[in-house]
Structure 1
C-alpha cells in the first residue's frame, strides 16, 4: 500500500477516535443542554450519530492536513512565495500625454 494512503487511513482512524471521545465528553458534560436533549428524545441516537460522523470528518481532515504539512522538507528552495520583480512605472509619459 502506498505511503500516502497509509497516512490517510491512519489519520482517519485517529480523527474518528478523537470524534468518539469528543462526542462522549460533549454528552457527559451536557454542554448547552445537548446531553439532556439527546437522552430525553427517542431519536436522540440520530443526533449522536450525526455529531460523531461530522466531528470525525472534521478531525480527520485536520489531522491529515497537519501530518501533510509536517512532511515538508526544509531545503534551499524559494522562500516567501514567488515574487516578481516589478519595473518602475513611467509616470512622466502618462502625465505628458494628458497635457496635450
Structure 2
C-alpha cells in the first residue's frame, strides 16, 4: 500500500477516535438534553452512530490537514539553515534608456 494512503488512513482513524470520545462526552454530559434523548429513545443508537460517523469525517479531515501542515515543518527542521538566503540587499545601479518620444 502506498505511504500516502497509509498516512491518510492513519489520520482518518485518529479523527474517528476523537469523534468517538467527543460523542461519548456529549452523551455523558447530557448537553442540551442530547444524552437523555439518545439513551431513552429507541432510535438513540442510530442517532449516536450517525453523529459519530459525520463528526468522524469532519475530525478525520481536520486531523489529516493538521498532520500535513505539521509534516512540512518537520521536514524543514532536518535541513541545515546556516546559509544566508535572499542575498545581501546591496543596491545596484542599472542604467536604463528611456524610449524616445516622437514629435508630430
Could you state the TM-score of these two structures normalised by the residue count of structure 1? 0.69
Counterpart in 2 of 1:97?
Answer: none
| Structure with the greater alpha carbon radius of gyration | 2
The 2-side partners of 1:25 and 1:39 are apart by 13
Counterpart in 1 of 2:55?
Answer: 55
Counterpart in 2 of 1:12?
Answer: 12
Measured on the aligned residues, the alpha-carbon RMSD in Å equals 1.5
For structure 1, the 5+ residue unaligned runs are 77-100
Question: How far off its partner does 1:71 sit?
Answer: 2.2
The 1-side partners of 2:57 and 2:65 are apart by 12
- Matching of residue 3 in structure 1 with residue 3 in structure 2: yes
Between the two proteins, the alignment pairs up a number of residues equal to 76
Counterpart in 1 of 2:30?
Answer: 30
Could you state the TM-score of these two structures normalised by the residue count of structure 2? 0.67
